[in-house]
Amino acid sequence: MGNCCSDGPGGQSAVGGTSAAHRNQTGGPNDAVDCFLKSRGYRGLFSQIELSLSASNLRDRDVLSKSDPMAVIYAKGKDGALQELGRTEVVLNSLNPQWITKHNITYYFEVVQMLVFRLYDVDTPFHDLEVKMIKLDEQQILGEATCALSEIITKSNRSLTIDLKRIEDSTRPSQPGKFGQLTICAEECVSSKISTELVLRCLDLEYKDLFARNDPFLTISKYLESGITSPICKTEVLKNDQSPAWKPVFLNIQQVGSKDTPLIIECFNFNSNGKHDLIGKVEKSLADLEKLHSMGSGVHLYSPTPVGNNYENKVLKSQLFVDTFSESVQYTFLDYLAGRCELNFMVAIDFTASNGNPRLPDSLHYIDPTGRPNAYQKAILDVGEVLQFYDSDKKFPAWGFGARPIDGPVSHCFNLNGSSTYCEVEGIRGIMMAYTSALYNVSLAGPTLFGPVISEASLIASQSLGNKQQKYYVLLIITDGVITDLQETKDALVKASDLPLSILIVGVGGADYKEMEILDADKGERLESTTGRVASRDIVQFVPFRDVENGEVSIVQSLLAELPSQFLTYMRTRDIHPAS
């Protein structure tokens, strides 16, 4: 983990910590943590969820007693295959069991995680066996329930009750309550949401350079079980300063362990070759640092000095002071969902002529009679099937741009449903139907302009602020070409960066999208408007469809990986708490 630390003089943060400058500029995830996860092929939000199960009004399958139910949890793949995740204990003689066994599952925001729950009546000869040894094909089935994990965690109380069905009829409607109900409760496994802000400074650092002052920075580490140390955070490098005062760093109790966990604070003199000189160090817990702050006193650094075959700690005149020690609650993405905050999905589709004649097979808009989705349809389906769970009414604004409606001028933002008064459609199916219908009711034209649809989405997002609603909007733009209003788009995005809005852009076809990547701050500098105003945060994620079409990571994972962090950046920088 040591390699996650930046040695650049810009003072990027290390694992778990952020400098104030870094956090205020981007508000995004920690660079080193992000790098660590990306190096292992994962970029998005994940959280450990604990599931608790109970059932009511189960069928009685025993003659002389009540059923002895056990629940089995499966993950269901896109191919329909089931993978067993765990089993509860067997509850004897009960038609309303409350199982004690909990099951942990990792929640991934950008993946639709389908779960299947099967309840069995376990026969008496199997009662003394470990549950994993029970042969399921020899037990009577009580019923089955299926849901997405997103359906559970988006409920305000994180609890979902589902009617049980016969396995062979699980996809068909059945008489409610005939087989009983299953209730699934979810809890986020977070030991602590307390974040500690520290402002540290040193006084009278010893000189390490012969002809210049030091370029000091701090690293904060903790001990692992093996005894080695692992860095948690790092300050920026301050040039030519013997009494430096660094910008704030932030530590999470979860990362530290507890307030009494010993932390190693080391002060180094920066060297461009990466071989930094240790000036001095001190070992203190968060509780110790809080005490230093309250007393207004400092602590002397020490330097390990070789004496014979051993090292002795030489106490230095240099001192470490804690100018700020404050604790605050860092709410999680799931906390906002539990507070009934919604993600509202919107879509804008490119109808410019460069897509080709929709009636010809080589067109990007061609509707295959075999049912195989084109790139536009696939992007809508993949992103929509994830986001629909976070939108309660499932009424989605949908627009087209770059086309000429019948007997009208070219429009760069028209309602996909053909209405002149409202833009919403019902569900993902409604978007697909409106898209197909529009192909036969407009003439493809051009040019490719993003500004109008971004402005329309921004208007909806700003109206929700006026109504004091906890809503966050996600606009999906699907396009086949490079935009011709780059600066106007930048202006619209800079304004939108202050709104509860993120924009996902999918590039389809074989166009050169180098200019498009400018809009994604991951791949360039922060956007600037014509008036010189800089975007307050990154709200754009751009993905060329061809880059992920044949890869292991799906287009939806590539697009949605950064969305939770963009959401949290907006909420935290504006001090918006989850609704109680």
More confident residue, 1 or 212: 212
Are 314 and 326 spatial neighbours (Cβ–Cβ below 8 Å)?
A: no
What is the tens place of the pLDDT at every residue in 318-361? 999 999 999 988 888 999 999 999 999 999 999 999 999 999 99
The pLDDT score that the predictor gives to residue 559 is 84
More confident residue, 135 or 168: 135
455 contacts: CB under 8 Å, gap ≥ 6:
413, 492
Model confidence at 216: pLDDT above 60:
yes
Q: Apex CA 261: angle with CA 260 and CA 263, to 5°?
A: 120
The pLDDT score that the predictor gives to residue 365 is 97
For 250, the enclosing helix (H) or strand (E) is strand 249-252
- Please check whether the domain covering 337-573 is classified as CATH 2.60.40.650: no
Are 145 and 162 spatial neighbours (Cβ–Cβ below 8 Å)?
A: yes
The pLDDT score that the predictor gives to residue 532 is 93
Are 102 and 50 spatial neighbours (Cβ–Cβ below 8 Å)?
A: yes
Out of 21-30, 33-42, 236-245, 395-404, give the one with best mean pLDDT.
395-404
The pLDDT score that the predictor gives to residue 191 is 64
Model confidence at 149: pLDDT above 60:
yes
The pLDDT score that the predictor gives to residue 549 is 60
Which of 194-203, 229-238, 355-364 shows the lowest mean pLDDT across its residues?
A: 229-238
Which of 20-29, 291-300, 552-561 shows the lowest mean pLDDT across its residues?
A: 20-29
More confident residue, 382 or 548: 382
The pLDDT score that the predictor gives to residue 229 is 84
Q: Name which of 330, 398, 338 is nearest 190 in CA terms.
A: 330
The strand ranges marked E within 468-571 are 471-479, 501-507, 540-544
Q: Give the torsion sign (CA, 496, 497, 502, 503).
A: positive
The pLDDT score that the predictor gives to residue 471 is 95
Q: How confident is residue 176, by pLDDT bands cut at 50, 70 and 90?
A: low
Are 487 and 527 spatial neighbours (Cβ–Cβ below 8 Å)?
A: no
Q: How confident is residue 208, by pLDDT bands cut at 50, 70 and 90?
A: confident
Distances (CA, A) of 380 to 67, 121, 415: 45, 42, 16
Are 49 and 187 spatial neighbours (Cβ–Cβ below 8 Å)?
A: yes
User: Average pLDDT over the chain, rounded to whole?
Assistant: 86
What is the tens place of the pLDDT at every residue in 73-111? 999 998 999 999 999 999 999 999 999 999 999 898 988
For 429, the enclosing helix (H) or strand (E) is helix 427-439
Q: Where are the domains of the chain?
A: 2-43+193-329, 46-188, 337-573
Instruction: Give strand pairing partners of 86.
Output: 73
Model confidence at 255: pLDDT above 80:
no
Q: How confident is residue 258, by pLDDT bands cut at 50, 70 and 90?
A: confident
For residues 461-468, give the mean pLDDT.
87
Instruction: Give strand pairing partners of 344.
Output: 473
Q: Number of helices and strands (H, E) in the chain?
A: 13, 25
What is the tens place of the pLDDT at every residue in 219-230? 999 888 778 888
User: Distance between CA atoms of 473 and 458, rounded to whole angstroms?
Assistant: 9
Model confidence at 33: pLDDT above 70:
no
Name the maximum alpha-carbon separation found in the chain: 93
CB neighbours of residue 249 within 10 Å:
26
- Please check whether the domain covering 46-188 is classified as CATH 2.10.25.10: no
The pLDDT score that the predictor gives to residue 227 is 81
Q: How confident is residue 256, by pLDDT bands cut at 50, 70 and 90?
A: confident
Superfamily of chain region 2-43+193-329: C2 domain (2.60.40.150)
Distances (CA, A) of 334 to 12, 158, 308, 578: 28, 10, 56, 9
For residues 443-456, give the mean pLDDT.
95
Burial class (CB in 10 A: 0-12, 13-18, 19+), 152: buried
| φ and ψ at residue 174, rounded to 5 degrees | -130, 170
For residues 56-71, give the mean pLDDT.
86
Alpha helices by DSSP H, listed for 70-163, are 149-153
User: Distance between CA atoms of 279 and 79, rounded to whole angstroms?
Assistant: 59
User: Distance between CA atoms of 544 and 213, rounded to whole angstroms?
Assistant: 48
The pLDDT score that the predictor gives to residue 367 is 96
Spell out a b/e string for 545-573, using b for 16 or more CB atoms within 10 Å of the CB, else e: beebeeeebbbbbbbbbbbbbbbbbbbbe
The pLDDT score that the predictor gives to residue 523 is 52
Q: How confident is residue 481, by pLDDT bands cut at 50, 70 and 90?
A: confident
Say whether 337-573 and 2-43+193-329 share the same fold. Answer: no
More confident residue, 521 or 472: 472
- How does DSSP assign 557-573, residue by residue? HHHHTTHHHHHHHHHHH
| φ and ψ at residue 34, rounded to 5 degrees | -60, -45
The pLDDT score that the predictor gives to residue 522 is 64
User: Distance between CA atoms of 164 and 288, rounded to whole angstroms?
Assistant: 54
User: Distance between CA atoms of 210 and 233, rounded to whole angstroms?
Assistant: 29
Q: How confident is residue 10, by pLDDT bands cut at 50, 70 and 90?
A: very low
The pLDDT score that the predictor gives to residue 22 is 33
What is the tens place of the pLDDT at every residue in 377-395? 999 999 999 999 999 999 9
The pLDDT score that the predictor gives to residue 28 is 34
To the nearest 10°, report the CA torsion of 26, 28, 31, 35: -130
Model confidence at 261: pLDDT above 80:
yes
Half-sphere exposure of 212 (CA within 13 A, CB side): 9
HEC secondary structure over 34-89: HHHHHCCCCCCCEEEEEEEEEEECCCCCCCCCCCCEEEEEEEECCCCCEEEEEECC
| φ and ψ at residue 140, rounded to 5 degrees | -85, 135
Distances (CA, A) of 61 to 66, 168, 253: 7, 18, 49
Q: Name which of 160, 146, 145, 548 is nearest 382 in CA terms.
A: 548
Are 304 and 311 spatial neighbours (Cβ–Cβ below 8 Å)?
A: yes
Model confidence at 30: pLDDT above 80:
no
Q: How confident is residue 2, by pLDDT bands cut at 50, 70 and 90?
A: very low
Antiparallel, parallel or unpaired: β 216-223 and 229-234: antiparallel
Q: How confident is residue 548, by pLDDT bands cut at 50, 70 and 90?
A: low
Which of 66-75, 172-181, 186-195, 371-380 shows the lowest mean pLDDT across its residues?
A: 172-181
The pLDDT score that the predictor gives to residue 20 is 34
